[in-house]
Chains A and B, each alone.
Chain A
Amino acid sequence: MNSVLEIQNLETVLHTELRPVWAVDGLTLQIMKGETFALLGESGCGKSITALSIMRLLPEAGEIVGGSIRLGGEDLLLLPEAAMRNVRGKRIGMIFQEPMLSLNPVMTVAQQIGEVLQRHFDLRGQAAEKRIVQILDQVGIPDAASRMNEYPFQFSGGMKQRIMIAMALAGEPELLIADEPTTALDVTIQAQVLELMRGLQQQGGMAILLITHDLGVASEMAHRVGIMYAGEIVETASREAFFRGPAHPYSRKLLAALPGRDRRKQGHRLDAIRGNVPSLSREFVGCRFADRCDQAWELCHQVAPGWTALTGEQQVRCHLFNQNFGSKIVKPAVSGQAGAPATLDAESWEFESFPSAGTEQSTPDGSLLSVTDLKVYFPIHKGLMRRVAGYVKAVDGISLRIDRGKTLALVGESGCGKTTAGKAMLQLIPPTGGSVRYNGVELVGLERNRLRRLRGEFQLIFQDPYSSLNPRMRIIDIIEEGMNALGVEDDGKEPKEKRVDELLESVGLPAETKWRYPHEFSGGQRQRIAIARALAVNPKLIVCDEPTSALDVSVQAQILNLLRELQRNLGLGYLFITHNISVVEYIADEIAVMYLGRIVERGTVDEVLGSPRHPYTQALLSAVPVIELESKRKVIRLHGDLPSPANPPQGCHFHPRCSHVMPVCRKNYPGASIFSSTHTAHCYLYPQDEEQSDRKTQA
């Protein structure tokens, strides 16, 4: 038998203030040599605790209370701590989610890797140095021999994650545990790191336990997948079998919750899973998914389902598949496409014909917000006298337009200036130059009082629902704050409290919740509260800054549904800032792709995603992991990282990473190339639009 890791009935408890949390409850899995096992699940279902249990690195409150973890036949739980130290870093390597937090900032990279080599191989001096260079080369750090003596902060995020991988590999482990290794990275960097991991596995034949919540990543990397729900695995299957026909109702729902263009085309709501992940501190009777499962019947609430083997390696924990309860057998949907069963219960929507939103047209072109040549420069201060030594050109002349009831998506890598652009449009950051016209009114330079009166018209929803609500205020105070500040609903006809109730109900929360504090809500619920707060002042335009990136797929689906519904009913315009292409496909009408403070390509969703013109857009789209059974698409690999906006490359900003670079690209920034009335890009590969560049030079 060549299984590397075998976990039997693992049970891990966290002793918290109030009640013990059974973070892992009877988990069983097996990983073979050279295999990648993807452990998939929503946040809080116990994935990370599983990984930490294997390493025996649980937090102080954690305790393994049952089961066995065998690494090559040896039970790790029986080893003394001293022996365990020889296992960690040597036989099992681990990569964490946050590369910034897992490297020691005061030690050079060589010292950190050297430590591992010395500990496990007793390598020192010259020999160690040679090996370090070798390992760093292996993970693709250019110029390893000289860069190994640098400190972690001198490397970019993607490089740091490579260094983490290098450290994990230094011990030549049999098993690599990667806990969300790419979640903190951009798609282009994620593609690099995933490719690296795949290559290393092929060379070394180690087993990988890949922990992720991203079905796309799992589909690209895994040989087998396990779906985890509330502390236990509910389905295991080979990758092909799983993505062809997921069996467990939860797995099916997860896949059906993924947004995408076809879902929008079909005019469907996303298939959100109702409710939330249950708290692991409660006791379960029966199936843990029963409260959220559409197919549940009495038995599910009474008896916990056991394992049922389906064809091949696929195993599932659900009563539906148990022959003994024959009356309720439903064949799992095997209809090829992921999420097929979902279409049955999804109601059809007529998205394009929302009612009367466009009636009060006060601008000639009907645009709600039009931005021209917006610039935000942050000064860099140097020296004792805080002299301005230069500028970070976070936003460097972008122009765009949002129409009533439409959604414009702004996409790009992190650090390209998306959020700054959004805040500058709402005048939360004073722009350095350019103009922002809302409904024909120029906002830049508007005096504070007049601007305050307009504030209600445009609102903002943030990425992190945990930091966007004041933890010390009740929900009702949070929602009323904006109403008070802007004097909304002060006519006394409708009491404010009633309005708060209505708002909460419109975002799908019961009215009683208004008396509670934010910490009592889950991430998705908090995001709903944030939406209700924004809606309280009757905005016409909402800037959504990655509103779903901190949320799970199933909750993301709920929020996206809600946003679309509100758009349909209220005719809201959205500026949707995101890096998630499948969300863009689902929700956006138009896309603007941003690179280093400028928009490089713009067009309708079909134009940009269907026929991307700019090399950066092409690379970005190809890097997005997708769920495809025969995934042999070509990833256009981008070299290096986003350059610093303080010092953008001369000419086309993208030229150091572009595979089509030409001499002219290094000289001047390309003008616009027009492909249709809506579709433009800035690249020398396409004929430049003379007229426009003329106009530009004149202005």
Chain B
Amino acid sequence: MSFKPVILWTDALVYVLVAVIVIFAWQVRRHEHLLAPWRRVGHSASGMAALTILMFFIVIGLLDTIHLRPAIENGNGGSEAAYGVEVLSLLDLLATPLRTQVETTYSAPFATHLYARETVELPGGGQVREFPRLKFGGAHLQDPETQLFGDIATRAGTGAGLALLLWFLIATSVTAIVAHCRGERFVSTLSTIWQGITPVPWRAVFVTLALILLLGGAALALCSDYHILGTDKVGQDVFYQSLKSIRTGLLIGTLTTLMMLPFALLLGVAAGYFRGWVDDLIQYLYTTLSSIPGVLLIAATVLMMQVYMETHPELFDTIAARADLRLLFLCVILGVTSWTGLCRLLRGETLKLREMEYIQAAHAFGVSHWRIISRHIIPNVMHIVLITTVMDFSGLVLAEAVLSYVGVGVDPSTISFGTMINAARLEMAREPMVWWALFAAFTFMFALVLSANLFADAVQSAFDPRMKTLSALARTWRRKSIGKSA
């Protein structure tokens, strides 16, 4: 199948971000003093477990970032291939069954029948109102009543079994690599990992990985034949929506930071370094800005932008492009309203740094302001930037949900946690209740935010300059080795 790659605005930014992270990681590897705190992150059990979960989200998010427009088979085999107006991502292609198996309306998780009665024509004439069979969910079953449970169990079992096999493979190869690096025998490394006394908490990583793989394996095995998280009002699979929401959440969390960073960094450092009227001006700016309620500002800008987009439809060749631009704007606006906190922090830190003697020494050499800022100040405030960025991430994911709920968030055609919740809220009042959409959004967001928070905690404490103490377990291990050497 031929296709045409599409790079949306946010995709481009994500690629830039990935490149920056790769370069940063490469830099860090070369400098011992930069590497040390990251190594401490690597030694934190909760941090590494959280990172394992985050990795899954990130992979899904990245898959969902590679966009393309498949060619339309238009029969005549013309010289020029035409491409569909629908922009799909790699994730969409992988999850084609999920995307395309659309029911007519609500159905509960693992259901085989719709959630609402419909009038059905009987073969022999006449009509009944009953719960009709789903078109896709459990369609292969002859007699759902009796077969359903058994079928789910076997499929889930197979999926989980395969996942376990995969896990086993991964765990063995990681252990082998660790053993190779430490120059030990495989078995002894395995036993230290098993006892949980390796510096990098492999045991925690493996346990988390096992849990994720088991869940993921079972879900994969089931999702093509069932709606494992049900369907929504227009019959779309909720599991698919949840997967799609991940990218939106991640984007809002990271791109917003990317947007606000230049403001916060430049203005904060300039205010602290130059003092005087520059400082007064910048302080005035951010005090004013932060005293306006953020939601108001965002609502006003989003509405203005919406009007503009609606009056200029010719600017966008696909719906996806439009929705994407709106998402980008949301990031920009969130960024503009949220740089003040970091800016304030950086100003304070710079005020402290500029009195440091090495800065004075640089002045004594007549080093230019720009070089002092770029060589002395910025490298020394980077840890604050990093900690704030990581800490802000989860807050931003939640902010998106709230904004979409209020109606000033992402484009309605963009699937996000916010739009999912927004759509689900009315159904909570239905009798019987439609609970699964909200449940799915909540579970996914909870996992994402919780793991981001745990990871942020690990990063923060690793960058905390105060003396680190060891975890109790590692300590007993040390004591044993002290006992040996003494």
Contact = CB atoms under 8 A, between A and B. Distances in A.
Nearest to B358: A470
A458 B366 CA distance: 11
B469 interface: yes
Interface string B366-395: 111001000110011000000000000000
B357 A451 contact: no
Contacts of B365: 455-456, 481-482, 485-486, 537
A452 interface: yes
B176 to A, nearest CB: 26
A429 to B, nearest CB: 10
A595 interface: no
Given A485-B365, A485-B367, A537-B365, A61 B360 contact: no
Interface in A460-494: 460, 462-464, 467-473, 481-482, 485-486
B357 A462 contact: yes
A473 B359 CA distance: 12
Interface in B117-137: none
A369 B262 CA distance: 45
A240 B284 CA distance: 66
Contacts of B478: 15, 20
Contacts of B379: 470, 472
A16 B363 contact: no
Given A61-B470, A468-B357, A481 B362 contact: yes
Given A20-B482, A470-B380, A59 B467 contact: yes
Contacts of B362: 481, 485
Nearest to A543: B364
Given A283-B485, A469-B358, A473-B375, A517 B33 contact: yes
A459 interface: yes
A455 B368 CA distance: 12
A533 interface: yes
Residue with the highest number of chain A CB atoms closer than 10 Å, among B360, B470, B475, B479: B360
A20 B469 CA distance: 11
A468 B32 contact: no
Interface string A370-393: 000000000000000000000000
Nearest to A516: B32
B470 A452 contact: no
A428 interface: yes
A69 B366 CA distance: 56
B468 interface: yes
B361 interface: yes
A452 B357 contact: no
A328 interface: no
Contacts of B467: 16, 59, 61
B356 interface: yes
A500 to B, nearest CB: 15
A472 B380 CA distance: 7
A336 B368 CA distance: 57
B32 A460 contact: no
A88 interface: no
Given A15-B478, A517-B32, A467 B356 contact: yes
Contacts of B469: 15, 59-61
A426 interface: yes
Q: Which of A17, A428, A473 has the most CB of B within 10 A?
A: A17
B485 to A, nearest CB: 7
A533 B362 CA distance: 10
B371 A485 contact: yes
A577 to B, nearest CB: 13
Contacts of B356: 467-468
A462 B368 contact: no
A463 B361 CA distance: 12
B364 A426 contact: yes
A530 B356 CA distance: 14
Interface in A46-61: 59-61
A455 B366 CA distance: 6
Contacts of A639: none
A15 B475 contact: yes
Nearest to B39: A17
B482 A470 contact: no
A533 B360 CA distance: 13
A13 interface: yes
A292 interface: no
A451 B482 contact: no
Contacts of A482: 361, 364-365, 367
A514 to B, nearest CB: 15
A187 B386 CA distance: 44
Contact of B360 (A428, A451, A486, A517): A428
Interface in A403-443: 423, 426, 428
Contact of A533 (B40, B361, B363, B475): B361
Contacts of A471: 33, 380
B357 A467 contact: yes
Interface in B441-486: 467-470, 475, 478-479, 482, 485
B368 A485 contact: yes
B287 to A, nearest CB: 14
Contact of B366 (A15, A463, A485): A485
Nearest to A474: B31
A534 B364 CA distance: 9
B358 A428 contact: no
Contacts of B485: 283
Most chain A C-beta atoms within 10 Å of own C-beta, residue among B361, B468, B485: B361
Most buried by A among B32, B357, B479: B357
Nearest to B360: A428
Contacts of A473: 375-376
A224 B178 CA distance: 55
Interface in A260-292: 283
Contacts of A17: 40, 468, 470
Contacts of B367: 481-482, 485
Contacts of B479: 15
Nearest to A478: B358
Contacts of B357: 462-464, 467-468
B376 A470 contact: yes
A423 B361 CA distance: 11
B274 to A, nearest CB: 14
A420 to B, nearest CB: 12
A460 B361 contact: yes
Nearest to A455: B366
Nearest to B380: A472
B366 A451 contact: yes
Contacts of A467: 356-358
A519 interface: yes
B316 to A, nearest CB: 45
Contacts of A16: 467-468
A473 B470 CA distance: 28
A503 B470 CA distance: 41
A371 to B, nearest CB: 17
Nearest to B378: A472
B112 to A, nearest CB: 58
Contacts of B32: 517
27 contacts: A15-B475, A15-B478, A17-B468, A17-B470, A59-B467, A60-B469, A61-B468, A423-B360, A428-B360, A451-B366, A455-B364, A456-B365, A458-B364, A462-B360, A468-B357, A468-B361, A469-B358, A470-B375, A470-B379, A471-B380, A481-B365, A481-B367, A482-B367, A485-B367, A486-B365, A486-B366, A530-B361
Given A15-B470, A482-B364, 6 more contacts: A15-B469, A428-B364, A467-B357, A470-B376, A481-B365, A481-B367
Interface of A: 13, 15-17, 20, 59-61, 65, 283, 423, 426, 428, 451-453, 455-456, 458-460, 462-464, 467-473, 481-482, 485-486, 517, 519, 530, 533-534, 537
Interface of B: 32-33, 40, 356-358, 360-368, 371, 375-376, 379-380, 467-470, 475, 478-479, 482, 485
**A-B pairs, 9 with minimum CB distance:** A452-B366, A482-B365, A468-B357, A455-B366, A462-B357, A61-B469, A485-B367, A472-B379, A60-B469
